[in-house]
Amino acid sequence: MSENEDLSAWGDALAEQADSEGEDASAEDPWGDALSEQADAEAAVEPDDVSSAAFDQLSSERGDGKNKVDLDVLLDIPVTLQLEIGRAKVSIRNLLSYTQGSVVEMDRLAGEPLDLLVNGTLIAHGEVVVINDKFGVRLTDVVSPQDRIKKLK
């Protein structure tokens, strides 16, 4: 049974029910009339009256130079740069006992390279240098993009 026939049947059934109860169908239950009208209107529409939507053809052009993305927009996005010498887990009791001159033991050996993280993602390894009385980092090993993607998964 099609949707139009189903709606029409519901409308007729509701109208019959109202007639059998001896009351006016349109005054008591307008749903029966509305469903019948809707079914009649949908049945009157012929399939030839319906037109299909027209869409442009999609193309698989890549890198033709005409539709280049402007990467300058991305160059001004701020990121967080972190240098990590190492990590240590300590209890609150030990943390509160630290005073000036206390030594916190890290999980890395002396001379081991530090990690350079950008927004929490490891990008490179490096070593601390001093230039004109300021600290800096000399990058010794940059993580390849393939390795960074593997770590994300």
End-to-end CA distance of the chain: 50
The type of residue at 61 is E
**Tens digit of each residue's pLDDT (9 = 90 or more) over 19-32:** 766 554 445 567 77
Running DSSP on this structure, what letter comes out for residue 23? S
DSSP string, 84-151: E-------HHHHHH--TT--PPPSS-TTPPEEEEETTEEEEEEEEEEETTEEEEEEEEEPPHHHHHHH
The domain covering 76-152 belongs, at the CATH homologous superfamily level, to SpoA-like (2.30.330.10)
**Tens digit of each residue's pLDDT (9 = 90 or more) over 110-136:** 888 999 999 888 999 999 888 899 988
pLDDT over threshold 50, residue 42: yes
Sequence ranges of the domains in the chain: 3-46, 76-152
- Which segment of 9-18, 19-28, 69-78, 120-129 scores lowest on mean pLDDT? 19-28
